[in-house]
Amino acid sequence: MRQLRHRRLTAVVALATLLVTAAPPTAASAGAGAKPERAGFHRVGYFTQWGIYGRAFPVKKLDTSGAASRLTHVNYAFGNVSEDGRCYVDGGPGEGDAWADYQRPVPAEESVDGIADAPGQALNGNFGQLAKLKAKHPELKVLISLGGWSWSTYFSNAARTDASRKAFVASCIDIYLKGNLPGSPGAAAGVFDGVDLDWEWPNWEGEPGNVIRPEDRENFTKLLAEFRRQLDGYGRTTRKHHPLTAFLPANPATMDAGYEGRKIFKYLDFATVQGYDFHGGWDTVTNQQSALRVPRGAPDNPDFSAEVAIDGWIARGAPRNKLVLGIPYYGRGWTGVSGGGNGLFQPATGPAPATFEAGYEDYKQLKTLAGKGYTVHRDLRSGHAWLFDGTTFWTYDDPAVVLQKTLYIRQAGLAGAMMWSLDGDDDNATLTKTIGLGLTTW
């Protein structure tokens, strides 16, 4: 049985390798003419507001790379929550980027339809490009993701009372679904189909400074109920269903502190589950950041893994068919690694140097390291891979690992895959296409 399992996993690696080495698509096959792969599983990709800058990842790349035709949902990261519990868009430093969201005139070479934005028109920026992307891919749903690691500070205020919940939800629907941007009423109407709640985390420590209350656990459920009520009410005017989703943690202790297990899924279309950041440069020993299963010999007991996270939610009453597994398009790294061997579970001096943030590197950069002093190592049983050059160690998901995870999603009866974030993929959307292949309904 063990030999049979090894042969199956080896076949996964071989098939994924074919994906990597396949010729890039033509512009026609990658763009609007590509056959959608939307039946069955959810394929949810986060598009980051800031990706248009240093990562040079405009909305257009979702179309030209072929990613858009493999996705069912795009979550736009992020929308902010004010101290008085309202959705808002603002150009203040650290509070928002209205220029990127809807003000920046997008030049023709970055535009989905090849037509440049006119300065001062009603809708520019990423929001305008998402509207054009949806015109090319009409089955694609776009959700505004609220919060995230940096902007979950005041979620507790918004969720605290019946009145605050009603006001908060109304403000979010007004700005994002009705499209009432500052100075441009209705300009963004139709860009967003629904809402993704990325509260990190109710009644649990997230970014320092977050407001946390014990009643967050019950209030999160009540907030979902209010979103569902108002989204359904708005849907009666648009004659559409407006999706509601949430991003949920991998840590069982966080699950218990902040969420009422089974109750929350009454209101959610589905939930995406954190499948990454299990370990990183904050640890003094190299480790996996996104393994499918806890590896043998792991120094921490208990430890985190994708399977631990999914099983944790199922044990708390989550329906399998509403759980979407998160897959990282980046790796976590350490340097100053000693102890020899393949580098795994060895002492390190700190996070590895990287392009934007020490210890964090996009897949499209990590894929270039193989064969350039780095060796690719795999644990097929546990479902993870890493790069090691004798000093620097990177744990990451390559196409072989991603394909193995899609097989797990199918076998476990889950709802699909989520990707953080789309700008970490290469120009051929290799990881997104791998997920599309693995989750195609045959």
Give the catalytic positions in this structure: 200
Answer positive or negative: Cα dihedral of 424, 429, 430, 432: positive
What does the alpha-carbon distance between residue 380 and residue 9 come to, in Å, rounded to a whole number? 6
Tokens matching residue 81: 């929550």
What does the alpha-carbon distance between residue 189 and residue 56 come to, in Å, rounded to a whole number? 26
Place of tokens 């929350």: 264
Judged on CB neighbours under 10 Å (0-12, 13-18, 19+), 249 is buried
For the chain, the residue count is: 442
Answer positive or negative: Cα dihedral of 47, 52, 54, 56: positive
Neighbours of 190 (CB within 10 A): 16
Rg, the chain, Cα only: 21
Return phi, psi of residue 181, to 5°.
-80, 155
If phi over 0 gives left and psi between -120 and 50 gives alpha, with beta otherwise, what is residue 193?
alpha
Provide the b/e sequence for 75-112 (b: ≥16 CB within 10 Å). Answer: bbbbbbbbeebbbbbeeeeeebbbebbbbbebeeebbb
What does the alpha-carbon distance between residue 130 and residue 136 come to, in Å, rounded to a whole number? 10
- The full DSSP string for 92-132 is STTT--HIIIIIS---GGG-TTS-PPPTT-SS-HHHHHHHH
Cis peptide leading into 302, omega within 30 of 0? yes
DSSP for residue 370: B
